[in-house]
Amino acid sequence: MGDYLRLLTVNDRDIPLATLQRAVPNVAIWSVDHPGTLGNYLAIGPELNALQSVWATIERNPVGPNTLGAEEVAEFIDSLESGGPPSAVRWLSDYLETIRAIYAIRIYPEGIIDHPEAEDAVYAVRSALRNAVGGIGQWDGQGFTNEDDRLIWCDPRMNLHGKKEAAVLNESTGEWIPIDLNLEDPDELAQFLRGEHPRKLRPR
């Protein structure tokens, strides 16, 4: 799990705290006072208000003129040419221009190391966010996912590992072709980065 998991969405509506709390009823999620982001900064952990043992934090950054969110989107767009596939670069370049809010989930490895349930809880909260507002994902150390949460773009300079649910865009139809991708197989990864359907993989 990377230090940051982000959800980038075209939907700028607020999500009630209770919606996230219902996603993980046995885990504490609470609002934290934070300069400039009052009401938009949440903590996830085993015990209410126990900041010393927090597992993750969630910060909502609106995207508009002269905002931190807009700066982040610009950085993401600038980074796209360092990876592929080319079809995903073109799709993401257009999609990112429409983003209205970024939910940044910061993981605290020292907080989750002794809590095997922590990762599942963080992913459950991310799923609740995604179900509420939709959007695409950005994962530190992996890349971008599409609206179906499948990996569609990565930078080969990243520390890529494991098998991922991925997708390749058919630009003639606008449809995503779902595949399972082994990021540790150089041939599969090279074909994916070129936008080719890896020959060893079957569409799912």
| Pairwise pLDDT comparison (177 vs 40), residue with the higher score | 177
Q: Give 96-147 pLDDT, tens digit per residue.
A: 999 999 999 999 988 888 888 999 999 999 999 999 999 999 998 889 999 9
Give how many domains the chain has, as a whole number. Answer: 1
pTM over 0.85: yes
Do the domain assignments include residue 139? yes
Q: Distance between CA atoms of 118 and 188, rounded to whole angstroms?
A: 32
Contacts of 187 (CB under 8 A, 6+ apart): 198, 200
- At 190, list the tokens: 């090279």
Range(s) of the domain holding residue 70: 4-158
Q: Give 3-32 pLDDT, tens digit per residue.
A: 899 999 999 888 889 999 999 998 999 988
Do the domain assignments include residue 201? no
Q: Distance between CA atoms of 61 and 64, rounded to whole angstroms?
A: 9
Chain-centre distance for alpha carbon 18: 22
- At 166, list the tokens: 């991925």
Q: With 60 as the cut, is the pLDDT of residue 61 above it?
A: yes
Do the domain assignments include residue 22? yes
Do the domain assignments include residue 182? no
- At 43, list the tokens: 């903590």
pLDDT band at 199 (very low <50, low <70, confident <90, very high): low
Residue 39: its pLDDT value, please? 46
Do the domain assignments include residue 128? yes
pLDDT band at 193 (very low <50, low <70, confident <90, very high): very high
Do the domain assignments include residue 175? no
Do the domain assignments include residue 197? no
Instruction: Assess whether the previous peptide bond of 85 is cis (omega < 30° from 0).
Output: yes
